[in-house]
Amino acid sequence: MIKNMEELVKKAVSGGKKILSVACAEDENVLEAIARAVDIDLAYPLLFGDKGVIVDLLKKIGIENSRFEIVDVKDENEAVRQAVSAVSSGQADFLMKGLVSTSKFLKNVLDKEYGLRSSQLLSHAAILSLPSYHKLLIVTDGGMNEHPDIGAKIHILENSVRLCEKLGIVNPKVAVLAGVETVSEKQPETVDAAQMSKMNFNGQIKNCVVDGPLAIDAALSSESATHKNIKSPVAGDADIFMVPSMSAGNMLAKSLIYLASAQAAGAILGTSKPVVMLSRSDEPKTKLNSIALGSLLAQSGKAADCS
């Protein structure tokens, strides 16, 4: 079971170098993270983007450009298309988002012809390692599905449970978050949360322990739950925080990164090959963690199945 980012990076390195395809690599933080990944034998990078700009940036940050394979593509969308195609065709093992908008990146990932779709719903997960929490915490979905209905939420949950299996987390505990623990039609996320808990209790959602609706204080702290008179097997020990909307997840994950010193990695789940994606503003360390996560997912199970 991987308990923090250091262990994740170590495990990824021990699995050997993987070929990483980067969509729109014209970014200092991206290039610094990739250079570090090369230094520690984690990845061999294939960069797609404007070669002149990439070479200038490498020079600026003092990195030798002969260590990288750069495919010169000036048009942003074409760079993403070629980076995605490199992975779907098997030329590279996993994909990473560089300096490009999330929706442009994801539209290419979803392309029916050259993309990385599978039969299931794709979703985003942020994996966080916090000094104030005793294990990894997965927040989903703060990056792809804007307002998932209950059917989509079940797929998002199942994707994150499969991710846990790949991180060695057995029977993960899932807190389905809301603002309160009571179920109310006026707060539809509480109704969905209660239904997911029931489905888990009935064995329709498997390989995890689901509880909700839970407010975030009860989900984070068993003392808080006890104080509120809530008995929950998940309170204070959750592996997965399932959020009601993309905005909620995005705010939660970024708050934990900026205010609680969380180290993070991010990935799109359910794809036919691994895809790593975090915010454009993330620092090199966060991007390196994501590269490690992608490399680990590329190693696990069937090479072409990161679902």
- Could you say which residues in the range 59-98 bind ligand COD, by CB under 6 A? none
CA distance 181 to 37: 43
* Consecutive H or E run containing 218: helix 216-220
Among 45, 49, 98, 143, binds ligand COD (CB under 6 A): 143
Q: Which residue is nearest to ligand COD (CB)?
A: 103
- The site that binds ligand COD (CB under 6 A) totals a number of residues, namely 13
CA distance 99 to 112: 23
List the beta strands (DSSP E) in the chain.
18-23, 43-49, 69-72, 94-97, 123-129, 137-140, 173-177, 209-214, 240-242, 263-269, 275-276
**Choices 35-43, 83-91, 143-151, 206-214 (CB under 6 A): range interacting with ligand COD:** 143-151
Tokens matching residue 64: 């030798």
Nearer to ligand COD, 108 or 232 (CB): 108
Distance in Å, CB of 14 to ligand COD, minimum:
30
Does residue 113 bind ligand COD (CB under 6 A)? no
CA distance 173 to 210: 6
Among 24, 30, 57, 106, binds ligand COD (CB under 6 A): 106
Does residue 150 bind ligand COD (CB under 6 A)? no
Does residue 250 bind ligand COD (CB under 6 A)? yes
Nearer to ligand COD, 271 or 299 (CB): 271
**Residues forming beta bridges with residue 19, ordered by sequence position:** 44
Phi then psi dihedrals of residue 251, to 5 deg: -65, -40
Diameter over CA atoms, the chain: 62
* Consecutive H or E run containing 216: helix 216-220
Q: How many Cβ atoms from other residues are within 10 Å of residue 236's Cβ?
A: 19
Among 66, 103, 119, 132, binds ligand COD (CB under 6 A): 103
Nearer to ligand COD, 263 or 279 (CB): 279
Site string for ligand COD, 194-223 (x = CB under 6 A): ------------------------------
Among 82, 140, 279, 289, binds ligand COD (CB under 6 A): 279
Nearer to ligand COD, 152 or 191 (CB): 152
Does residue 122 bind ligand COD (CB under 6 A)? yes
Among 146, 186, 229, 231, binds ligand COD (CB under 6 A): 146
Among 121, 125, 178, 214, binds ligand COD (CB under 6 A): 121
Interhelix angle 284-299/28-39, rounded to 10 degrees, is 50
Does residue 249 bind ligand COD (CB under 6 A)? no
Contacts of 64 (CB under 8 A, 6+ apart): 58
Distance in Å, CB of 251 to ligand COD, minimum:
10
Cα-Cα-Cα-Cα dihedral sign, residues 281, 285, 288, 290: negative
Residues that bind ligand COD (CB under 6 A): 102-103, 106-107, 110, 121-122, 143-146, 250, 279
